Structure 1
Amino acid sequence: MKNYIKVASVIIAALLSACGNKEKTNEVVQTTTADTLQTATTVQLGEVFADSTYQLTGVAVSPEGRIFTNYPYWLDKHSYSVVEVKDGKPVPYPNAQWNSFKKGDNGSDKFVCIQAVVADEKGYLWVVDAAGIGLGPVYKNSNKVIKIKLADNTIERIYKFPENVAGKESYINDIRVDNTNGFAYMTSSSNGGIVVLNTKTGDSRFVLHDSPSVTSDPAYHFAFNGKEFAKADGSIPKINSDGIALTQDKAWLYYKPLTDDKLYRVSTALLRDFSTPLKTIDDKVEDLGHFITTDGMEFDKDGNLYLGDLEKSSIVKITPDLKMHTLVTDPEKLIWPDSYSISADGYLYISISQIQHMPWFNNNVNTTQKPYKLLRLKL
């Protein structure tokens, strides 16, 4: 993050970044919302879990149907970081020790500030620890990715990053895992860019830093109920690369800044080859056009991409031909749909984090409509 004195007032992945556009991306299709938006009213949102105490952001559903969520250490009130939902109750996962972090602890073998959880098809839970308490600088070099074996709930591996990949001013956000080729991809929403991780060797690389595709467009006015999203002091947060999704064939990585409506993709073959020049990667990014503002996003097995329209309290599907369809709109339930996971039985799970109601954006008053929730809809 560019300025950590002010960063505690920014969200999920961060802050005012307004990095300069170095190069234009390849424009594939200039899609506009007005051209393709359709509305359906038959989809029903079901509640899976509710928590009136702590703010959650992530959701993960394993192939066997186990449900996980996480709680970032953003506000002063904080307890457990990762939980498994059992009989409607949060159970610290994988154990109480990993969820016992307190300020002053070392942080290397505990969860510090967890931003995302993702369950893969091989039976592992991947946990992203941004370690940026209150969205501040990385705590004691403890940002990491933890790979947990679901069969016996043991830590299989902890991945760390060098300073030039995810240093103290980085806030790693969401993750997608390619077990076929042995790679994982993460967005950095503070300073804009993609972290590429070789999950076999542990080597990593930071790409697309300052590319226009990872930098939120300063001209876009991200708004709720006609009022532009702003901090308590009136400044306008611009949140960079955040949402990320991997196609089923693992050939394309889709991503976007949070506070504008553009969507981009890049070939993973370029990302996996660490000898690819950074400029080549920048030049090969494809600009897919204008869609919606979203936090997370997720592909299904048929190549449909699901996103949450933050400004319109909707869940949207983009088909492989880049046509956009609104599945459901519900201002009472879809209060900042955050992260997504698709279960084996065909449900889209959605975390509801209510970020726009945090005190940071409401004159230091928490206007959250508790509880925080996990919802789902049948696809």
Structure 2
Amino acid sequence: MTKRIVGLILLAALAGNAMAAESGNYDIVAKLMQGPGNVTATDSGRIIMSQHQFYDPQYSVVEFQGNDSVVPFPNKALNDRSGHADLTLDSVLGIRTDNQGIVWMLDNGMRSGITPKLVGWDTKNDKLHRVIYLPPPVAPKDAFVNDFAIDGGRKRIFISDPAGGGNAALIVVNLETGAARRVLEGHVGVVPENVDLIIDGHPVQVKGAAGHLVRPHIGVNPITEDLKNEWVYFGPMHGLSLYRIKAADLADDSLDSKTLAQRVERYSAKPISDGISIDRDDNIYLGELAENAIGVIKPDRSYQRLSQCPNLSWVDSFSFGPEGKLYGVVNRLHQSATLNGGEPLSRPPYFLIQVKALAPGLPGR
């Protein structure tokens, strides 16, 4: 039996186990004219979004101001790419807030070909907190550093890098020293499976250098850490399994690659998905991309579909804010020229949404 057939069987089983979806499980907070990438919220209620590089935005990061409007975050100067300076926010996707009010922005640098980096902005004092560069071999030439989780207690950031597929890996950044290391490269928990993403009957396709259409299979992307800072959950975007590893093991520089790989365990089934988040009861929220839906992996490891609606067309990212509010963004990324064989069909409005979570979470996560 081929991996493709196995994948289809698993997806069918996943759909069969899902509960009936309701379209009223979310609210549209804002209609956006530019396609968002990821979203974070501070404990004071500020909502900050990256703008997806596939849409070539003027500003890589923006803050939501209400009434469907946004302004560059933290300012226009840091978003000014005209000089191509290394400090410029070039191509931010992953964005998270820590418990000190630092908004961390993960810039893959791909639009201008600059070194990937983490940029931390102190929202309490409105100033640059830190910049940590991720040069080779930590982030190789084909790196696509995408999303991350923050472990404040261990002073670590765990980054997902799907890279070229076979060399997908996690990157562990030490926030005390600025040192970073690449781990679990090529592990089954990070490399893509042989499953295609088909949305509304149309396959996601990219146009290669020779003009041929290829259906991409993307490695590790979704990543989050539970609120007890015990487990880090992750998996390939194009994959039907979610994995986890103890945060203490992932942060332990003394563990060699073989030992670390042995500490990874398969946690549950999942659909093809992008960013994830987790609440205090260990419910893991994700976008079910192929079905225009939002789902949750519950603590008993079963999957439940929370909502399904044409508006939920590529739910990319989630983040909790204060008062248990769970935000998400919708960007119809499969209709961008990049993922639609060079033909741009995606049109605004895109959405900032609020999802009815099963339990409160931690702001910024």
Match of 2:54, SS state, is coil
Change over 3 Å in CA distance of 1:273–1:362 after alignment to 2 = closer
CA contact (8 A) 1:43 1:327 kept: no
1:47 counterpart letter in structure 2: I
Instruction: State how far apart, in whole Å, the 2-side matches of 1:34 and 1:106 are.
Output: 46
1:63 counterpart letter in structure 2: D
- Tell me the CA shift for residue 311 of structure 1: 0.5
- Tell me the CA shift for residue 250 of structure 1: 1.1
- In structure 2, the residue matched to 1:47 is 28
Q: Does 1:165 align with 2:102?
A: no
Instruction: State how far apart, in whole Å, the 2-side matches of 1:215 and 1:168 are.
Output: 17
CA contact (8 A) 1:58 1:338 kept: yes
1:368 counterpart letter in structure 2: S
Instruction: State how far apart, in whole Å, the 1-side matches of 2:169 and 2:108 are.
Output: 14
- Tell me the CA shift for residue 290 of structure 1: 2.4
- In structure 2, the residue matched to 1:230 is 205
- In structure 1, the residue matched to 2:47 is 67
Instruction: State how far apart, in whole Å, the 2-side matches of 1:361 and 1:69 are.
Output: 21
- In structure 2, the residue matched to 1:205 is 181
In the superposition, the TM-score normalised over structure 2's length comes to 0.88
Any idea what the Cα deviations from partners look like across 1:265-315, whole Å, max 9, x if unmatched?
A: 111121111110011111221112422111000011111110110011111
Instruction: State how far apart, in whole Å, the 2-side matches of 1:225 and 1:96 are.
Output: 38
Instruction: State how far apart, in whole Å, the 2-side matches of 1:111 and 1:304 are.
Output: 32
Match of 1:166, SS state, is coil
Instruction: State how far apart, in whole Å, the 2-side matches of 1:211 and 1:369 are.
Output: 37
Q: Does 1:147 align with 2:120?
A: yes
Change over 3 Å in CA distance of 1:231–1:86 after alignment to 2 = same
Quick one: percent identity of the two aligned structures?
25
Change over 3 Å in CA distance of 1:357–1:160 after alignment to 2 = same
Match of 2:327 among 342, 349, 359: 349
How many residues are paired up? 339
Instruction: State how far apart, in whole Å, the 2-side matches of 1:119 and 1:40 are.
Output: 31
Match of 2:86 among 108, 120, 126: 108
Match of 2:37 among 57, 62, 85: 57
Match of 2:53, SS state, is coil
- In structure 1, the residue matched to 2:361 is none
- In structure 2, the residue matched to 1:320 is 299
Match of 1:99 among 65, 79, 100: 79
Match of 1:195, SS state, is strand
1:90 counterpart letter in structure 2: V
Q: Does 1:217 align with 2:219?
A: no
1:128 counterpart letter in structure 2: L
Instruction: State how far apart, in whole Å, the 2-side matches of 1:165 and 1:335 are.
Output: 33
Match of 2:118, SS state, is strand
- In structure 2, the residue matched to 1:18 is none
Instruction: State how far apart, in whole Å, the 2-side matches of 1:222 and 1:365 are.
Output: 17
Match of 2:36, SS state, is coil
Match of 1:282, SS state, is helix
Q: After superposition, where does 1:184-333 map in structure 2 within 5 Å? A: 184-191=157-164, 192-218=168-194, 220-232=195-207, 233-331=212-310, 333=311
Match of 1:287, SS state, is strand
- Tell me the CA shift for residue 171 of structure 1: 1.3
Any idea what the Cα deviations from partners look like across 1:300-347, whole Å, max 9, x if unmatched?
A: 11111101100111111111110111111112x101000100122122
Match of 2:307, SS state, is strand
Match of 1:33, SS state, is helix
Q: Does 1:130 align with 2:108?
A: yes
Unaligned runs of 5+ in 1: 1-30
Match of 1:127, SS state, is strand
Instruction: State how far apart, in whole Å, the 1-side matches of 2:79 and 2:215 are.
Output: 33
Any idea what the Cα deviations from partners look like across 1:95-152, whole Å, max 9, x if unmatched?
A: 11101113xx34322101111211222211111101011xxxx7232x1101111112
Q: After superposition, where does 1:8-23 map in structure 2 within 5 Å? A: none
Match of 1:122, SS state, is coil
Instruction: State how far apart, in whole Å, the 2-side matches of 1:39 and 1:343 are.
Output: 27
Instruction: State how far apart, in whole Å, the 1-side matches of 2:174 and 2:114 are.
Output: 23
- Tell me the CA shift for residue 64 of structure 1: 1.1
CA contact (8 A) 2:190 2:236 kept: yes
CA contact (8 A) 1:70 1:114 kept: yes
